[in-house]
């Protein structure tokens, strides 16, 4: 892929803007002044907490060569050292540029949604396609109203493949996003009890909301669904009602188009035998977890539909490693020994909690080491919140987890039903829990940290990495967002 992302005139025309001066070619798109790179165009979006117009000067100082600003903010910006492109609404301008990017692209495009596993599936598909041609996909979970158009606007014109993640927590959110992406292949990983707070009709409402992805599939495109899901038949009918005739399935059932034949799960990887359409494929996934095996079946099926080489893609899965917040592993130096940290801190739902507990159960301890689960609240579960937290005692007990450290008001429901021998410590906040865990972690332990974003479990991971590091730990770059 070339360094030039947009010619200046093409860039301005794509969003129907008004430039204050001629500008250079654009090499990148940014909405965060902290992460601007030289050659970027900075979009001054009004975010939930900040108005990007306050940071136009900072973006220019970091190397932005043009800024996109709203007409009603122009007078307050003063004298600028870089050209401006004036639009009525900056977010709408980014969406216009995204549509222009999609219109010029000849890439084969996939879109991924689902209650859990969206990001890992997107990462996996992007990873295996990257070895087969220029492939574009977002570096993080850019799956919302600004993340999807940002990822689209960054798509090089000469990309061969592209993969997009589309999320939602309310009905109606996916439709406008998939209309921008217009995928040739749409994947729904699964339908689970996530965001129940916003879906009074429960799983049925979630299934309908996820099925909105069908509305944007290109004519002649494909849909890939979880054949093991109780929602499969319903989703398949909704796809066909949307005019999609090519509905494929993945799972363990005999009729699945991508079918699991055999599985050998190890503490740090899985060996898999699967039939992808008519091809028997044996491969290794370089990260543990049954959920990743399921995702891999969907990925290989998508590769086939996108014109890629399934065998080559399967081989590339051996190089896969779990990303930050979704199973990434770190070695900790504790006293004279070592411990293992499993970082599952990105987010949490009842389904992903159970999957993470299973991964912890399979992990190898050393000596007198213990398997420790550090759990924060799961959010947006509505009236079922306390019940769903308390029910985690079942997988924890079945997995033989040695200690549970819990944080948050909802996790109190779990704490109250835990066996005494399993209780490590409970605190109302993750910050209170952190000091206790630092004192009690021992050599040989394996500790897994998981919770919804709002439960603030990620700082525990960073503190553990710094406190027990064998070498200096580089701080992670700021999460990109409108700033």
| Residue list for the binding site for ATP | 114-120
From CA 91, how far away is CA 255, in angstroms rounded? 44
Pairing of strands 84-87, 66-70: parallel
Angle, vertex CA 44, rays to CA 7 and CA 72, nearest 5? 105
Which residues participate in the annotated binding site? Answer: 114-120
C-alpha–C-alpha distance, residues 348 and 450, integer Å: 7
> In angstroms, rounded to a whole number, what is the distance separating the alpha carbons of residues 422 and 371?
10
406 contacts 414 by C-beta, under 8 angstroms? yes
DSSP 150-165: HHHHT--TT-SEEEEE
Q: What is the largest CA-CA distance in the chain?
A: 70
> In angstroms, rounded to a whole number, what is the distance separating the alpha carbons of residues 90 and 150?
12
Instruction: Please enumerate in sequence order all residues whose Cβ is within 8 A of that of 429, keeping only pairs 6 or more positions apart, or say none.
Output: 407, 408, 456
The terminus-to-terminus CA distance of the chain in angstroms comes to 28
At CA 248, angle to CA 348 and CA 136, rounded to 5? Answer: 60
Tokens 């050209």 map to which residue? Answer: 83
């Amino acid at each position: 892929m070339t360094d030039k992302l947009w010619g200046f005139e093409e860039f301005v025309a794509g969003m129907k803007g008004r430039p204050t001066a001629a500008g250079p070619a654009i090499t990148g798109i940014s909405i965060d002044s902290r992460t601007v790179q030289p050659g970027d165009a900075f979009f001054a979006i009004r975010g939930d907490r900040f108005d990007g117009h306050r940071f136009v000067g900072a973006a220019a100082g970091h190397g932005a060569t043009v800024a996109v600003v709203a007409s009603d903010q122009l007078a307050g910006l003063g004298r600028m050292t870089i050209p401006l492109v004036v639009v009525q609404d900056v977010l709408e301008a980014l969406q216009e540029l995204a549509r222009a990017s999609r219109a010029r692209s000849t890439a084969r495009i996939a879109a991924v949604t689902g209650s859990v596993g969206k990001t890992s599936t997107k990462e996996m598909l992007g990873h295996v396609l990257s070895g087969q041609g220029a492939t574009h996909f977002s570096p993080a979970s850019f799956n919302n109203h600004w993340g999807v158009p940002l990822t689209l606007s960054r798509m090089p014109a000469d990309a061969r493949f592209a993969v997009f993640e589309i999320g939602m927590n309310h009905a109606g959110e996916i439709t406008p996003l998939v209309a921008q992406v217009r995928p040739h292949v749409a994947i729904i990983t699964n339908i689970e009890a996530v965001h129940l707070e916003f879906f009074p009709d429960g799983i049925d409402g979630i299934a309908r909301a996820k099925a909105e992805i069908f509305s944007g599939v290109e004519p002649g495109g494909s849909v890939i669904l979880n054949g093991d899901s109780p929602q499969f038949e319903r989703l398949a009918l909704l796809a066909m009602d949307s005019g999609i005739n090519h509905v494929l399935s993945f799972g363990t059932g005999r009729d699945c188009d991508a079918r699991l034949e055999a599985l050998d799960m190890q503490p740090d990887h899985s060996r898999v035998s699967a039939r992808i359409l008519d091809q028997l494929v044996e491969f290794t996934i370089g990260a543990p977890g049954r959920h990743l095996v399921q995702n891999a079946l969907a990925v290989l099926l998508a590769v086939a539909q996108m014109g890629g080489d399934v065998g080559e893609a399967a081989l590339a899965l051996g190089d896969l490693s779990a990303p930050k917040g979704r199973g990434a592993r770190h070695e900790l130096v504790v006293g004279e020994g070592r411990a293992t940290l499993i970082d599952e801190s990105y987010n949490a739902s009842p389904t992903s909690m159970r999957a993470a507990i299973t991964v912890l159960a399979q992990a190898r301890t050393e000596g007198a080491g213990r398997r420790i689960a550090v759990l924060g609240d799961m959010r947006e579960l509505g009236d079922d919140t306390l019940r769903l937290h308390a029910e985690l005692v079942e997988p924890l007990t079945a997995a033989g987890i040695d200690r549970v450290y819990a944080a948050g008001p909802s996790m109190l429901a779990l704490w109250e039903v835990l066996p005494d021998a399993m209780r490590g410590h409970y605190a109302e906040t993750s910050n209170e829990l952190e000091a206790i865990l630092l004192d009690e972690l021992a050599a040989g332990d394996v500790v897994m940290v998981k919770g919804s974003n709002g439960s603030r479990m990620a700082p525990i991971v960073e503190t553990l990495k710094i406190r027990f590091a064998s070498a200096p730990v580089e701080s992670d770059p700021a999460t990109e967002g409108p700033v």
